Amino acid sequence: MIPENYKGREQALIKHTLLRNYLEKLFMIIGQRQKVICYIDCFAGPWQQEDEATEDTSIAISLNIINECKLALARSNIHVHFRALFVEKKKKSFLKLEKILENKKWSNIEIHKLRGDFFDLRESICSWCDDNSFAFFFIDPTGWKNVVEIDTLRPLLNRKNSEYLINFMFYSILRTHTQGTFNRHMEKIFGETPETSDLSPIERENKIISLYCDRLKYANTDKNDITRLAHVKVLYPTRDRTLYDLVYLTRHHVGIVKFMEVSEKLDIIQNKIRAIAKQNKMVEKSGQTEMFSATAVRQERDKLLELSLIKDYWLEHLSVKPRRFGLVDLADILEETGWFISDIQKAFKELEDEGKVKNYESSRKRSKHVVHFDANNNQGELLGKLNQ
Ligand SMILES: C[S@@+](CC[C@H](N)C(=O)[O-])C[C@H]1O[C@@H](n2cnc3c(N)ncnc32)[C@H](O)[C@@H]1O
């Protein structure tokens, strides 16, 4: 289940799965309306790659997906020009990067590379993107300094017609945010030094990530250019805590819905991968397999709790006078809560079965996709509460 080249760095497998699955959806959608698509890997590597063929790098993963999408679009007579830029600071890694990019299988993609520090190269990166093109920026550093601060990212964030996937090194920030020597850095990231001493570990994590996401969401200096944001947690393979958050920014509500669809599938994959990694570790240490998973029981309990919160949310946002819930509404819920779409559907279904809510546009009982948010030209279906 876990490919040999990802053993011991399962978090990279999770990150790469998200990147691959999201890019595929993105390029197939954006390709319908955009003649030129730019992909920019701001911290390209290769890094800790195991595979001789380098297929386990974000470089090969992105170029393979570009190739596949370009061909698939061409089959529908849509011809998109793809451009890709790879930035890397370290000389040794840059030499390896150059070698990877020489591969003939990517010869129909316009590929560029830049060697240097992301911080210094930000203006060159922005001017490399054609003004009329769509751009996707992948920001996957090894640390946070001179990367994730709002002012550092602002030149990229101010570019219209762009999306971003940013690796926010949560665990590294968690360890440093209370150390006085880092106060000035924390202020650059969060606008303040996060005060977390009285908080539980979960509250502390929530505070840190939401402080950052709120600042990022409103970092764009054009107040009419609304940014939407979602994030997904990547956990340590064998420990129950967050290693980093992959923060996604877009200008479009469909982006949030697609990203959350991919995140939900990723959550299932992540659970499986981590279960195997934990099992392998147990076997390595004691020669025995784990008989009973406390984590699985905890996850089940958290899911039940979350479902009851989602049901409360539905009841609060529905009234006896039915109204349509469309894709924009769905994106709003996802952005506000971070819940998965299937749980939102499941909560509505339970309320429907309890006779508390009604979908006025489904003539027969649906078992899974009880609300079609994309019906009626994405305006959705008429939903209402059955009693006050
Ligand atoms: C986490 S690794 C990238 C991994 C790659 N995205 C992947 O998933 O396969 C970060 C890379 O950024 C490079 N790097 C570190 N600091 C940098 C900087 N300031 N500017 C550009 N590259 C940098 C490192 O040498 C390393 O190769």
CATH of domain 4-280: 3.40.50
CA of 115 to the centre of ligand 1 (A): 11
Given pLDDT bands bounded at 50, 70 and 90, which one contains residue 54?
confident
At 42 the pLDDT is 98
Of residues 259, 227, 265, 237, the one with CA closest to residue 246: 259
At 288 the pLDDT is 64
**How distant is the alpha carbon of residue 119 from its chain centre?**
23
At 234 the pLDDT is 95
Tell me: the pLDDT tens digits for 196-250?
999 999 999 999 999 999 999 999 878 788 899 999 999 999 888 999 999 999 9
CA of 87 to the centre of ligand 1 (A): 8
Tell me: the pLDDT tens digits for 70-119?
999 999 999 999 999 999 999 999 999 999 999 999 999 999 999 999 99
Find out whether the beta carbon of 55 lies less than 6 Å from any atom of ligand 1.
no
Structural contact between residues 325 and 348, judged by C-beta atoms closer than 8 angstroms:
no
At 277 the pLDDT is 86
Pair of tokens at residue 239:
């420990």
Structural contact between residues 331 and 338, judged by C-beta atoms closer than 8 angstroms:
no
At 225 the pLDDT is 84
At 280 the pLDDT is 83
At 62 the pLDDT is 98
Pair of tokens at residue 37:
């698509």
At 93 the pLDDT is 95
Find out whether the beta carbon of 120 lies less than 6 Å from any atom of ligand 1.
no
| Terminal Cα distance for the chain, rounded | 50
CA of 141 to the centre of ligand 1 (A): 5
CA of 55 to the centre of ligand 1 (A): 17
- Substitution candidate for ligand 1 out of 62, 125, 142, 165 with most atoms within 8 A of CB: 142
Of residues 86, 21, 11, the one with CA closest to residue 48: 11
At 291 the pLDDT is 52
Tell me the H-state helices in 102-217.
118-128, 150-157, 170-176, 183-190, 201-217
At 294 the pLDDT is 62
Domain boundaries, the chain: 4-280, 290-385
Of residues 337, 328, 329, 327, the one with CA closest to residue 375: 327
Tell me: the pLDDT tens digits for 285-327?
776 655 546 666 667 777 888 899 999 999 999 999 999 999 9
- Substitution candidate for ligand 1 out of 9, 50, 88 with most atoms within 8 A of CB: 88
Q: Is the peptide bond before 201 cis (omega within 30 degrees of 0)?
A: no
CATH of domain 290-385: 1.10.10
Helix, strand or coil, per DSSP, at residue 122: helix
Is 1's pLDDT higher than 90? no
Average pLDDT of the chain, as a whole number:
92
Tell me: the pLDDT tens digits for 327-362?
999 999 999 999 999 999 999 999 999 999 999 998
Pair of tokens at residue 214:
């709120």
Find out whether the beta carbon of 47 lies less than 6 Å from any atom of ligand 1.
yes
φ, ψ (nearest 5 deg) of residue 168 = -95, 110
Structural contact between residues 89 and 141, judged by C-beta atoms closer than 8 angstroms:
no
